[in-house]
A = this chain, B = another copy of it.
Amino acid sequence: MTFTWPKNFYSDGIHGHLRRNPNKPDIGWLVSTKPANVAGVFTRNTFPAAPVQLDRTIIRLNKPVHAIFVNSANANAFTGDVGMDNALKTQKLVAERLHCDESEVLVASTGIIGEQLPMDKIQAGISRLIESDPMNLAKAMLTTDTTTKTAQVTTENYQISGVAKGSGMIHPNMGTMLGFVATDATINQQLLQQLLRELVDVTFNQITVDGDTSTNDTVLVLANGDDWSKAIKAGTDAYKSFKANLQQVLKTLAIAIASDGEGATRLIDVRVTEARSKASAMKVAKSVVGSNLVKTAVFGADPNWGRIVDAIGNVGEVFDANTLSISINQAPIILNGQAVVDDGTAAQVMQEKIIVVAISLGIGHEQGQAWGSDLTYEYVHINAAYHT
């Protein structure tokens, strides 16, 4: 399916000479021709990059916006006051191109930490941004990602489309994760923000590549619908279905990032059921998917349930070993605390590309899910090979 933006959105991605490879675009924008309500969720890192600090102030204004500018190759992180000035300059240059107010432009950067943006190139690049194939923006965001990441859902009333980049802090000082979602649905900003926060917690925040959150992680949603007679209101069926569709888009992008984890050969999909609370289920799922021992075992195609049990136990909550059941790609491993693993079958299912670890805690009715990649020689190679 060709990737498209909803009505009244367009984007571009070009080579702005931030990196040498002329075939890799590194500057782009997503533009809404109509005022768009915006929601944003950002990194929890204590040293957020300048663009993250700037976008937070934009979100707080609670006013419609017109565009997101993005550059790769340079994260504008840990760059001090000069970095903030450059983010503001970038915002101003884009606003001038679009004849809108500076406060209607968000900026995002990903790349090297600790170097200043080459503003001459940024300025030249912005002056050349137009409208082109949406995939150009999907490409312009990428750093060391191996694939573009897009998702979209179309209903009779609206469309939701998203692009993302991720794949972990691969190269030295690489900011990690960006996600931009656009919809022509009509929804007020407060509700959109609340919805995004809730859905990011069960999607982007449930993937782990190397456990570190970066200085630049950003997820933005623009909604430019203006038919308030069809506005999505909390608690309605329309709301429920919009929420499900937005979650679908965010989840697809998040899984794409996990699958493209640095050096990844397998996707690990951990599904926890019968937990006391949703928070507990999500914590257990993330602990298992985040365990280096589980990640290396998956790389080694080793149905190493001892490590899974250990990772569950490391969450530090009270579980009952006698009600714990685990299966891997539907092969039973542990049933109510008893090892029931058939080594042959287990070794066989561990060969599959997607490893679904189903964990039933047997102490409640809540569930949670998390996704990650295996830990491979290539991960070490990618992360260790660089020399200053």
1/0 contact string of A333-355 vs chain B (CB within 8 Å):
00001110101001100000000
Q: How far is the CB of A86 from chain B (nearest CB, A)?
A: 16
Residues from chain B with a CB closer than 8 A to the CB of A371 are: none
> Does any Cβ of B come within 8 Å of A120's Cβ?
no
Contacting residues, chain B, for A319 (C-beta < 8 A): 46-47
A213 to B172, CA, bound (A): 28
Q: Answer whether residue A383 sits at the interface, using C-beta atoms and an 8 A cutoff.
A: yes
Q: Which residue of B lies closest to A374 (CB)?
A: B384
Asked if A131 is at the interface of the complex by the 8 Å CB criterion, the answer is: no
**Which listed residue (B113, B310, B318, B387) contacts A310, Cβ 8 A?**
B113
A376 contacts partner chain B, Cβ-Cβ < 8 Å: yes
A307 within 8 A of B: yes
Determine if B46 and A293 form an interchain contact, defined as CB atoms under 8 angstroms apart.
Answer: no
Query: Is there an interface contact between B114 and A339, defined as CB atoms closer than 8 Å?
Result: yes
Size of the chain A interface, CB-CB below 8 angstroms: 65
Which residues of B are found within 8 Å of A301, using beta-carbon distances?
387
With A169-B307, A306-B114 known as contacts, the answer to whether A384 contacts B46 (CB < 8 A) is no
**Known A-B contacts A302-B386, A377-B377; A47 and B172 likewise in contact (beta carbons under 8 Å):** no
Q: Does A300 contact B (CB under 8 A)?
A: yes
Do A313 and B80 contact each other (CB < 8 Å), given the known contacts A172-B307, A302-B386? no
A215 at the interface (CB under 8 A from B): yes
In the complex, are the beta carbons of B379 and A380 less than 8 A apart?
yes
Please give, as numbers and ranges, the residues of chain B lying within 8 Å of A25 by CB-CB distance.
none
Chain B residues with Cβ under 8 A from A214's Cβ?
Answer: 310
Q: A300-B385, A301-B387, A379-B380 are in contact. List 10 more A-B contacts (CB 8 A).
A: A45-B310, A77-B306, A80-B337, A114-B309, A292-B379, A292-B383, A300-B386, A346-B388, A347-B388, A375-B380
By Cβ-Cβ distance, the 10 closest A-B pairs, closest first, are A173-B306, A300-B384, A296-B383, A113-B306, A45-B313, A46-B313, A47-B313, A210-B292, A296-B384, A299-B384
- Interface residues, chain A, with chain B CB atoms under 8 Å away: 44-47, 77-78, 80, 112-114, 169, 172-173, 210-215, 291-293, 296-297, 299-307, 309-319, 321-322, 337-339, 341, 343, 346-347, 375-377, 379-381, 383-388
